[in-house]
Structure 1
Amino acid sequence: MNTFPFTDAGLHYVPHYFTVPLDYSNPQKDKLTVFAREISLVGESTLDEHSGCTKPWLVFFQGGPGFPALRPNGHNGWIKRALKEYRVLLLDQRGTGNSSVISHQTLATLDAEQQAEYLCHFRADNIVRDAEFIREQLGVTQWAILGQSFGGFCSLTYLSLFPNSLLRSYITGGIPSIHRHADDVYQATFNRTMEKNKAFFDQFPHAQNLCAKIANHLLHHEEFLPNGQRFTVEQFQQIGINFGLSGTFLPTYYLLESALIEVNGKPQLRYEFLNAMLAEQGFQTNPIYAILHESIYCQGFASNWSAHRVRQTRDEFNYQPNKPFYFTGEMVFPWMFEQYTCLKPLQQAAEILAQKQDWSSLYSAQQLANNTVPISCAVYADDMFVEMDISRETLANIPNSKAWITNEYEHNGLRADGEKILDILITMSNQTAEQLKMKQTMKNKITPSNKEEQSSC
């Protein structure tokens, strides 16, 4: 373990390493290392200057799946707001960052069956169990949680499994359906992706011609990324994932307008463009995102490559010459494990997991229907990744939850304007907590004699 405490920009960072079970149903067997980074204000003794009490913890669940917690650079964003009343714990979810990382390198010694069996233990339920294990190790009675995107999915799992461990739950762009099939999710996200495409091409009409030139070139010429991987139309379409984030239309257009050059009278893709395309392929360095992405929706059923099947009903996304070009979003497809260099060694395991039917439950509808933890959520009206209508459907059945629905932000709102967003969510949560307190006070005022009088009226 080669990470040490340090200070920067008025913040104090402390690393924590925990040894946790791979499988909590068999805790004595294989183990994992989970890393978390504590952040507090320099010079602060972790005591609240007003109350003299220890500040509560706020645990952050990163989006993904398969990405580590953010590495802060400065006293800003949502962390600045959080540190006013919390100590922050940034959790590298199992398999990411400094937590027994999963990659094509670390899985190389396992065969396909072993890879699939191992990867089964890296979904939200076990991420939450890791957090609960850490809470107990730190001697914390209760703490608050903040979940961004997939981190919000983890938050609902936490509220389902261990609600008594939670003070508050803040969620940004991450309210899932707790019962729908993955097909429903991808039908909605393909619709949103088409809306983003139309908005992009409306703003930059010439981009349609540029995209067609690039796609047609790839259909008839071999082009290779700097890692030696052949670049294809399907891979090119996947940079549309960026349309779910704010401020990405113009940078995408800049890429397109300088993609092709002529060498000895023949067109080819510029190295700068190919290098940028490789940098867009987060699946190469974070394979959990590809191999377990559809499983985050699975409870007792197989995904059977849901996004791929839905795409086959949406012919407009399957590019053909002389037809409009459209980008795809964050969907995962089986051909990726044939084309991406770092996913090829995981192809058989991915197929096994796509066919797996006995996924465990991630949520308890009954527990959520009886929720007493204040939940405040930022729901983005135009979210390309998490459908607003599905989020509202879920929240309608969870008491003591409040949604701030806004079209001011895209899916990355917490990154873009985190201090403001978290401040709004904390204010909403305080209001919910006050309402709960008032209800409890009124309930306590109803004595047995009062109840008898009321029933006789």
Structure 2
Amino acid sequence: MQEVYKSDGLLFKSHCFTVPLNYNDSHQEKITVYAREVVKQDHEHNDLPWLVYLQGGPGFPSPRPTSNSGWLKQALTKYRVLLLDQRGTGKSSPISHQTLSDKTSEQQTEYLSYFRANNIVKDAEFIREALNIKQWAILGQSFGGFCALHYLSYYPESLTRAYLTGGIPPITGHADNVYRATYKRVLAKNNGFFSRFPNAQQQCVDIANFLLDNDVRLPNGQRFTVEQFQLWGINLGRGGGDLAMYYILDEAFIDVGGKPELSYSFLNQMLLEQSYQTNPIYAILHESIYCQHEASNWSAQRVRSEYPQFNYAKGEDFFFTGEMVYPWMFDQLHCLQPLKVAAELLAAKDDWSSLYDAQQLVNNTVPVVAAVYVDDMYVDYDLSCQTVAGLKHAKVWVTNEYEHNGLGVAGDVILSKLMTLADNL
């Protein structure tokens, strides 16, 4: 039964679809894909064009709007919006250590191999046809932009426009190239953070040393390590993330019987920061978003050896890492441990299909407009520019005003700018 409700002048409708796990074998296993339609109440019966939102990640569901604000408010001035829970996320046959517990490691590996951008886009095409929509526009944020480039490569006839924010991937080359570039940007973000907050370096060193000397447990019972603490640096690539981190660091220790201890509130915050526990696709398939006919072989871990600054030892400066994922996470993080063998097998998988068609992108006729952030810690600016150079009929807005999460911080401004650029293409 379709769920319909209203809030803040908006009308929401739920849609559920049964789609093939493997589109090359549509008679076998099926999964559910969920999407939420949003339209202004006074536009409910208008014949509006559609806009599909492709979420970043991979492995995270589409937004759950609580108000008519941000980029959604801007989009709804022109479009009927479809918030797609990409397969494996939200209400779309979600993937977790729980839902995969009835499968062997080999079965997990096979199952998870169908959750990349190519099948996410095939799901979108299934939905478009099921809703009898001739064409629609797409808005891709971060990994959603990677999905958009796949869409432009293989189903351009289905698209009217493509809006991209912080999501122009390299369409050739090994994942190693990506991590060599992003490690450099992570180092720059670290230097900026410790320069802005002079006390933070000593605070981080104190925490790291305490973790080396003590068996510290997170609220879920998991031992908290220096490596896990370093993962928190993913926030350095988000607008306002550095200040939020400093406030938390500043209150990390409490006095217990005359001795310093890491506070429960700090440790609880560190657990909450480990979204890999609840959204394991991010950890398992993150490197595969760059793979075409080759294995990642734990690219971020291997390339990290070229940057010894990240291997903390007492007496040295402390550095956070970024969005990189590592094999040791499947030993240390409780909810990833049952998926370790599958993660290893997927890291060694070398027969991934192509994600992009470079010739099609050179001949592209779909209007594409993109916000490219110069200081993006997640998606390297130079690699994005290389892709844009081979993308016809595209216009790019280059800015250093926003970080990678610009769409979430100033979505109305950014999408308004992109919509205007598209109108003038």
Q: TM-score, normalised by structure 2?
A: 0.99
Name the SS for the 2:276 alignment partner: coil
Q: Which piece of structure 1 moves more, 148-157 or 36-45?
A: 36-45
Shift of 1:160: 0.7
Shift of 1:301: 0.3
Shift of 1:273: 0.4
Tell me how far apart the structure 2 counterparts of residues 161 and 133 of structure 1 sit (CA, whole Å). 14
Tell me how far apart the structure 2 counterparts of residues 264 and 172 of structure 1 sit (CA, whole Å). 50
The structure having more radius of gyration, on CA atoms, is: 1
Tell me how far apart the structure 1 counterparts of residues 21 and 272 of structure 2 sit (CA, whole Å). 31
Unaligned runs of 5+ in 1: 48-53, 433-457
What's 1:19 paired with? 18
* Contact 1:46/1:87 (<8 A) preserved: no
Tell me how far apart the structure 2 counterparts of residues 305 and 179 of structure 1 sit (CA, whole Å). 18
For residues 391-447 of structure 1, what are the alpha-carbon distances to aligned partners after superposition, in whole Å with 9 as ceiling and x for unaligned?
110011111011100000000000001111011111111111xxxxxxxxxxxxxxx
* Contact 1:40/1:46 (<8 A) preserved: no
Q: What letter is aligned with 2:177? A: D
Tell me how far apart the structure 2 counterparts of residues 13 and 217 of structure 1 sit (CA, whole Å). 49
Q: What letter is aligned with 1:384? A: M
The count of residues paired between Structure 1 and Structure 2 equals 425
Alignment of structure 1 residues 371-382 onto 2, 5 Å:
371-382=364-375
What's 2:275 paired with? 282
What's 2:258 paired with? 265
Q: What letter is aligned with 1:241? A: I
Tell me how far apart the structure 1 counterparts of residues 30 and 101 of structure 2 sit (CA, whole Å). 18
* Contact 2:88/2:115 (<8 A) preserved: yes
What's 1:440 paired with? none
Matched, 1:84 2:83: no
Shift of 1:73: 1.5
Name the SS for the 2:326 alignment partner: coil
Alignment of structure 1 residues 307-322 onto 2, 5 Å:
307-322=300-315
What's 1:397 paired with? 390
Name the SS for the 2:83 alignment partner: strand
What's 2:317 paired with? 324
* Contact 2:88/2:94 (<8 A) preserved: yes
Shift of 1:384: 0.2
Are residues 46 and 421 of structure 1, via their aligned partners in 2, closer, same or farther at CA, if it must alter by over 3 Å?
A: farther
Tell me how far apart the structure 1 counterparts of residues 369 and 51 of structure 2 sit (CA, whole Å). 14
Name the SS for the 2:293 alignment partner: coil
Shift of 1:266: 3.0
Tell me how far apart the structure 2 counterparts of residues 261 and 77 of structure 1 sit (CA, whole Å). 38
Tell me how far apart the structure 2 counterparts of residues 180 and 151 of structure 1 sit (CA, whole Å). 20
Tell me how far apart the structure 2 counterparts of residues 289 and 66 of structure 1 sit (CA, whole Å). 5
Q: What is the Cα-based RMSD across aligned positions, in Å? A: 0.8
* Runs of 4+ residues deviating >4 angstroms: none
- Tell me which of 230, 240, 243 is aligned to 1:247: 240
For residues 90-115 of structure 1, what are the alpha-carbon distances to aligned partners after superposition, in whole Å with 9 as ceiling and x for unaligned?
00000000000000000001111110
- Tell me which of 185, 188, 200 is aligned to 1:195: 188
Shift of 1:243: 0.5
Tell me how far apart the structure 1 counterparts of residues 363 and 26 of structure 2 sit (CA, whole Å). 30
For residues 64-119 of structure 1, what are the alpha-carbon distances to aligned partners after superposition, in whole Å with 9 as ceiling and x for unaligned?
00000011111111111111111000000000000000000000011111100000
Q: Which piece of structure 1 moves more, 96-105 or 73-82?
A: 73-82
Alignment of structure 1 residues 119-134 onto 2, 5 Å:
119-134=112-127
Tell me how far apart the structure 1 counterparts of residues 293 and 424 of structure 2 sit (CA, whole Å). 37
What's 1:421 paired with? 414
Shift of 1:262: 2.9
Tell me how far apart the structure 2 counterparts of residues 422 and 93 of structure 1 sit (CA, whole Å). 21
Shift of 1:199: 0.4
Tell me how far apart the structure 2 counterparts of residues 393 and 110 of structure 1 sit (CA, whole Å). 41
What's 2:34 paired with? 35
Q: Identity of paired residues, percent?
A: 60
* Contact 1:116/1:349 (<8 A) preserved: yes
* Contact 1:64/1:151 (<8 A) preserved: yes
* Contact 2:11/2:44 (<8 A) preserved: no
Name the SS for the 1:43 alignment partner: helix
For residues 3-45 of structure 1, what are the alpha-carbon distances to aligned partners after superposition, in whole Å with 9 as ceiling and x for unaligned?
7210000000000000000000001111010000000011323
What's 1:8 paired with? 7
- Tell me which of 131, 152, 165 is aligned to 1:172: 165
For residues 207-260 of structure 1, what are the alpha-carbon distances to aligned partners after superposition, in whole Å with 9 as ceiling and x for unaligned?
111100000010010000000000000000111000100011222111112112
Name the SS for the 2:283 alignment partner: helix
Q: Which piece of structure 1 moves more, 4-13 or 36-45?
A: 36-45
For residues 145-175 of structure 1, what are the alpha-carbon distances to aligned partners after superposition, in whole Å with 9 as ceiling and x for unaligned?
0000000000000011100000000000000
Q: What letter is aligned with 1:354? A: A
Name the SS for the 2:157 alignment partner: helix
Q: TM-score, normalised by structure 1?
A: 0.92
